[in-house]
Amino acid sequence: MSNGQPDGVTLVRQFRQILIWPLQLVPIRADAQIQKHWELLERDTADNPWGELRDEFGCDPADFKARHYSEFVTFLPYVRRFLYGDSRRIDGGRVNESPIRVFRRNDVAKVRLKFPHDPVPVTMKVQHVDLCFFFDIDIVILVVEIVGEDMPVQRVEETMFRLGRAYPMYWDTDGHGGHCMERVEWLASDDRVLAVSDYEKKQDYLSYVGSARGPRFASHWRFLLRPLVLDHSEEKGAIRYRQVEYSRMPLLAYLAMEDARQLTRADFIRLGLVSSPGPSDEMPYSQRHVWDFEKLHCFDQFWNEERTGRPGTRFMSCGHAFAMIGDAHEPFFVDADGGLLGQFRHQYFLLFLIPHFHKAALLMLSDRVAHALDRLQISDADSIKEFKRKIRQLREIFLRFTHRYWFHEVSDQPVAKELYRMTSTYLGADRLYDEVRDEIEDMSEYLEADTLRRQANTVVRLTVVTTFGLIGTVVTGFLGMNLFALSEQSTPERILYFVLTLIPVTVLTFYTIAKSKRLSDFLEAISDERLPARAKMNVLMDVWRKSDG
């Protein structure tokens, strides 16, 4: 035995897992383009466990720590404005704050995990539970960080694989949710149970999808998000959310190993790709499938298994997950302030969060375009007007997203630059951005073309009316000087003549407008020298013939 663990067990001295879960928010005010959902969480009510978390820049400058400085200088200037705001003052002296608003709940202190086929549960510390809102983008991201100590690597693999499941994909023969924990309990600091998972309630999940046409999230995740409520549910709540993509939550993992050299290639693949746990000497996938794993998913600038002493630090990313693995006896690796542990919880967390926010925001915009199209009724004038308003609004939001939030590079530091590139590439953010931009541009071009078509039709009608009105104008202008000596009549008689003339002229003008489409065809036929007189006469007769349609 060694440190309470059987001999031969690969031990993780400190394990941290940060789950991030992007969700789409439903607008709370139909008449407002910018929805400020977080304002409802600023209210001090009995059912609101959230409190706003102020950033480090709100502290006394003398208390500003080196870790905060290291995090700040990691990013390029335009990314700093996104993350931290700007020192330039606006609105009479108010600092231009970050567009990110973070709220934290402090009632959840621990999580108790019951693994399948293991009667002994594991209790881990909950470091924090946060909600991140973004100005002008209807996305919220749930962030949950947990901490464990002295855990076998297989238990770490299983935690990464099973914990971040919003709902079961299937149920096994024992009735447990497939790929899920058997039981998850959120605990208060005094070990009081606050919420329990319900993955085993198969019929509840089936009935919910059958009636709501949407997934039912597990009860312990719904608890963490309250007073936010699932949009498809019948629960009452002003802030409603829906799934944007992920049922399996993206995660970051930090492993401080007792001996990192004990990890086999199979262990690295399971940790890097977040696959199901298994023996260290058995590959989770075929060799053909993972032959280029190190090339695609590992950043090994600081990892060298061949040198004597400690092998260093290995970074791994597959888009869905980011993992940092190093030696628990290396002071710089476990330093929570100026070392890699501090960087993992802050710089690398943000490097992972940003591309996932990008993808969630773009998926939200794409969903809004599809929703606007679904509600469009071509035969309903009001529906057409609402559709045009929605598309123009989405185009404005997309433009503001591009200039406020969208960027291809976030850092000029080699490690941060490469890790961000890996995550963003695997998520396909650039391709998705192009697709959403094309969708919105297609809709905008359609609206512009439709507007031009309507304007052209109006011009045609006005041209027809003007052309035929020109005949009467010339005739009356030529004859009207002395045809009627109305100037010698009394005022009532002149008014009578005016009214008698106004009525038929008005009727004739509107009749000409009504027939303007066919009259424009007649004018076009008149101008065509190739048509015989008979054909031109037929076109004139068509003005008064009934349409077959």
Same domain, 206 and 104: yes
Burial of 325 (0-12, 13-18, 19+ CB in 10 A): buried
- Pairing verdict, β 183-187 and 110-114: antiparallel
The answer to whether residue 1 scores a pLDDT higher than 60 is no
Reading the block at residue 467, the tokens are 């052309």
Same domain, 268 and 209: no
The count of structural domains within the chain is: 3
Reading the block at residue 85, the tokens are 């705001």
Distance CA 454, CA 385 (A): 14
Same domain, 267 and 165: no
Reading the block at residue 274, the tokens are 């977040």
Ramachandran class of 350: left when φ > 0, alpha when ψ lies in -120 to 50, beta otherwise: alpha
Whether 177 is covered by a domain: the verdict is: yes
Taking only the tens place, the pLDDT of each residue in 150-160 is 999 999 999 99
Whether 216 is covered by a domain: the verdict is: yes
Same domain, 285 and 142: no
Same domain, 236 and 176: yes
Q: What are phi and psi of 236, to 5 degrees?
A: -90, 135
Distance CA 147, CA 123 (A): 9
Confidence at residue 171, expressed as pLDDT on a 0 to 100 scale: 92
Q: Which residue has the tokens 């490469």?
A: 418
Q: Of the segments 205-209, 245-249, 378-382, which one has the largest average pLDDT value?
A: 205-209
All residues at 6 or more sequence positions from 406 whose CB lies less than 8 Å from its CB, including other chains:
358, 433
Same domain, 233 and 316: no
| 491 residue type, one letter | T
Taking only the tens place, the pLDDT of each residue in 395-425 is 888 898 998 899 889 999 999 999 999 999 9
Confidence at residue 4, expressed as pLDDT on a 0 to 100 scale: 44
CB atoms closer than 10 angstroms to residue 346: 17
Q: Which of 302, 327, 352 is the last residue of a domain?
A: 327
Reading the block at residue 287, the tokens are 């060799």
Confidence at residue 133, expressed as pLDDT on a 0 to 100 scale: 93
pLDDT band at 238 (very low <50, low <70, confident <90, very high): confident
pLDDT band at 469 (very low <50, low <70, confident <90, very high): low
Whether 236 is covered by a domain: the verdict is: yes
| 105 residue type, one letter | R
Whether 369 is covered by a domain: the verdict is: no
Asked whether the beta carbons of 72 and 410 are under 8 A apart, the reply is: no
pLDDT band at 2 (very low <50, low <70, confident <90, very high): very low
The pTM assigned to this predicted structure is: 0.82
Same domain, 195 and 268: no
Asked whether the beta carbons of 152 and 11 are under 8 A apart, the reply is: yes
Distance CA 66, CA 74 (A): 12
**3-state secondary structure labels for all residues of 54-106:** CCHHHCCHHHCCHHHHHHHHHCCHHHHHHHHCEEEEECCCEEECCCEEEEEEC
The b/e string for 364-390 (b: 16+ C-beta within 10 A; e otherwise) is bbbebbeebeeeeeeeeeeeeeebbeb
CA 316 → CA 82, 115, 153, 253, 326, distances in Å?
A: 26, 25, 16, 10, 12
Same domain, 266 and 313: yes
Same domain, 111 and 235: yes
Mean pLDDT of 502-531: 67
The answer to whether residue 112 scores a pLDDT higher than 90 is yes
Whether 207 is covered by a domain: the verdict is: yes
Going by C-alpha positions, the residue among 120, 250, 124, 114 that lies closest to residue 184 is 114
Reading the block at residue 217, the tokens are 């999230």
- Pairing verdict, β 321-327 and 251-257: parallel
pLDDT, the chain, mean: 83
Q: Which of 226, 258, 290 is the last residue of a domain?
A: 258
Same domain, 23 and 166: yes
- The answer to whether the bond into 227 is cis (omega within 30° of 0) is yes
Whether 200 is covered by a domain: the verdict is: yes
Confidence at residue 158, expressed as pLDDT on a 0 to 100 scale: 95
Element at 385 (helix H, strand E): helix 381-404
Same domain, 26 and 172: yes
Whether 5 is covered by a domain: the verdict is: no
The answer to whether residue 549 scores a pLDDT higher than 50 is no
Q: Which of 258, 285, 310 is the last residue of a domain?
A: 258
All residues at 6 or more sequence positions from 47 whose CB lies less than 8 Å from its CB, including other chains:
226, 227
Domain containing residue 250: 11-55+98-258
Same domain, 45 and 193: yes
Mean pLDDT of 244-254: 90
Whether 103 is covered by a domain: the verdict is: yes
